[in-house]
Structure 1
Amino acid sequence: MYEKQFCFLQRNLNIALLSIVSFSAVALLAFRIYSYDWDFIFLVWNLFLAWVPLLFIQMVWSYEIRRRLPLWLLIVCFLIWLLFFPNAPYIITDLKYVRSVPQNMIWYDALMLFNFSVAGFLAGLYSIRIVHRIFAHRWNHAVAWLVVMISMLLGGFGVYLGRYGRWNSWDIVTQPIALLQGITSRVLDPFAIKHTFTFSFVMMLLYFAFHIFAELKKHEGTHKYS
């Protein structure tokens, strides 16, 4: 029994470590709620949304390596993942709330917001890495990197739509026409373009560093973190 649990932990070490980071963020929030107020309870929901694309693509990857998915289904799964992916980097924008916290809580709240941001962004990085694996496994690394870059670009625009347009991933189902109008009205907006490319560029740099680090650890031979 313990051997099975240990093997499961080894196979899902990244998920386990990310769970610890996420739990520490929620614990900080719980203490703040207990001692002060409920102002930041929305962070739990935002963190949950950051986990959704990771857990979804992890299930897709687990199935893909056991039994090759039909191409059409793989594309559908990728599009579903892409729809929710911006929720992961989006949580970084919650750092803006540190400007409005009471002076006596500023360091605690800054640490808490940073913890949530790190947890959400790491979920996004690991999520995109799994996408990278899937496309490299199905085709090659050139295709995988192209998919990663396109995903980062669309993810950056998704963060902009979420923060400034106040759109949600599920609006594509609940109000698709309004969402399409919101996208077309902002896609050529200079501020939207600047925000999208800046955010995408930073995400790409961080993912590249994350990818290189993971590959180096994988080839060390003694410990495998990827």
Structure 2
Amino acid sequence: MKELNYPKVFMLLAGLSVATLAVYRVVSLQTDSFYAFLIWNLFLAWIPFLFSMAAYELDKRKIGGLLLVPLGVAWLLFFPNAPYLMTDLVHLTIRKSRYIVDGTIQNRYWYDMVTLLLFTWSGWLTGFFSLYQFQTVVYRKSSLLFSWVFVLAACVLGGYGVLLGRVYRLNSWDVLTDRHQLYQLVMDSLNRQSVFFSLFIAFVLLVIYATMYCLLNGLGTGARGKGSKHIHG
């Protein structure tokens, strides 16, 4: 795996988020502020990146080894918030009466669709870079094969997290504040349809992440090979 310059990655993601918020602001002035909740959802998508960045830096400096486990658990709890943003596209269907009037598609549909897609792209990219950071940490501790086992598990649990969030309306922090509800929702979600949905989302996450991984390792710059541990940036 190639080591990335994460200060630059952070600036890239921050710039993308600022641009996304700017687009939302312009569009909301033209239409309405219905999609203001996307700002909160984008913030939640940033949380796993902050956890992964902390774990990455601690491991890079060979300190805080015991903190990597709680950071990993916290990251896993919030990671589904990144792919969850995709499901907000459902509002384009829910609000179709505002977008199609007398058989004509209104301009606001295109404004809102682009805004939703930009929020989704920003959230997904932030989430996938956080996954890449944690995969790098696992790779340092073990092997490339085991790091991909970790990625596969993260995508499966991420898909399941999207299911719990969108279908069962469970929040990441409910795991800590309402364990009885969590247990009940898990029991309710153990059915064929839910399993298929979770695995479908997991497959999509894995395909997109693998594409990003190949681009980063095929076209990027940085240390190459298991033996090199130099971190750029």
| TM-score, reference length from structure 2 | 0.86
Counterpart in 2 of 1:83? Answer: 77
Would you say 1:153 and 2:187 are equivalent positions? Answer: no
Would you say 1:35 and 2:30 are equivalent positions? Answer: yes
Give 1:27's aligned amino acid: A
Confirm or deny: 8 A CA contact 1:156 1:200 kept in the other structure.
yes
Deviation, structure 1 residue 69 = 3.1
Q: Distance in 2 between matches of 1:209 and 1:36?
A: 35
Superposed CA offset, 1:173-195 (max 9, x none): 221111111112212x1111111
Confirm or deny: 8 A CA contact 2:128 2:209 kept in the other structure.
yes
1:111 corresponds to which of 114, 129, 134: 114
Q: Distance in 1 between matches of 2:16 and 2:219?
A: 20
Q: Distance in 2 between matches of 1:59 and 1:220?
A: 20
Deviation, structure 1 residue 33 = 2.7
Give 2:154's aligned amino acid: S
In terms of mean alpha carbon deviation, does 82-91 or 97-106 score higher? 97-106
Deviation, structure 1 residue 67 = 2.1
Confirm or deny: 8 A CA contact 1:218 1:225 kept in the other structure.
no
* Gapped regions of structure 2 (runs ≥ 5): 100-105, 224-230
Give 1:214's aligned amino acid: L
Superposed CA offset, 1:122-144 (max 9, x none): 11111110111000011111111
Q: Distance in 2 between matches of 1:48 and 1:171?
A: 17
Would you say 1:165 and 2:168 are equivalent positions? Answer: yes
Q: Distance in 1 between matches of 2:109 and 2:19?
A: 18
Q: Distance in 1 between matches of 2:56 and 2:189?
A: 34
Evaluate the alpha carbon distance shift between residue 220 and residue 155 of structure 1 in structure 2; reply closer, same or farther with a 3 A threshold: closer
Superposed CA offset, 1:79-110 (max 9, x none): 11100000000001111112215322001111
2:127 corresponds to which of 124, 127, 130: 124
Q: Distance in 2 between matches of 1:53 and 1:106?
A: 31
Q: Distance in 2 between matches of 1:80 and 1:149?
A: 18
Evaluate the alpha carbon distance shift between residue 202 and residue 225 of structure 1 in structure 2; reply closer, same or farther with a 3 A threshold: farther
Confirm or deny: 8 A CA contact 1:88 1:124 kept in the other structure.
yes
Give 2:69's aligned amino acid: I
Deviation, structure 1 residue 32 = 2.7
Deviation, structure 1 residue 225 = 10
Identity among equivalent pairs (%)? 30
Counterpart in 2 of 1:5? Answer: none
1:74 corresponds to which of 56, 68, 71: 68
Q: Distance in 2 between matches of 1:38 and 1:218?
A: 39
Confirm or deny: 8 A CA contact 2:55 2:71 kept in the other structure.
yes
Q: Distance in 2 between matches of 1:37 and 1:106?
A: 12
Counterpart in 2 of 1:4? Answer: none
Deviation, structure 1 residue 163 = 0.1
Would you say 1:190 and 2:192 are equivalent positions? Answer: yes
Q: Distance in 1 between matches of 2:63 and 2:121?
A: 33
Counterpart in 1 of 2:227? Answer: none
Q: Distance in 2 between matches of 1:65 and 1:24?
A: 31
Counterpart in 1 of 2:48? Answer: 53
Q: Distance in 2 between matches of 1:205 and 1:143?
A: 18
Deviation, structure 1 residue 220 = 7.9
| TM-score, reference length from structure 1 | 0.88
Task: Count residues with an aligned counterpart.
Answer: 213
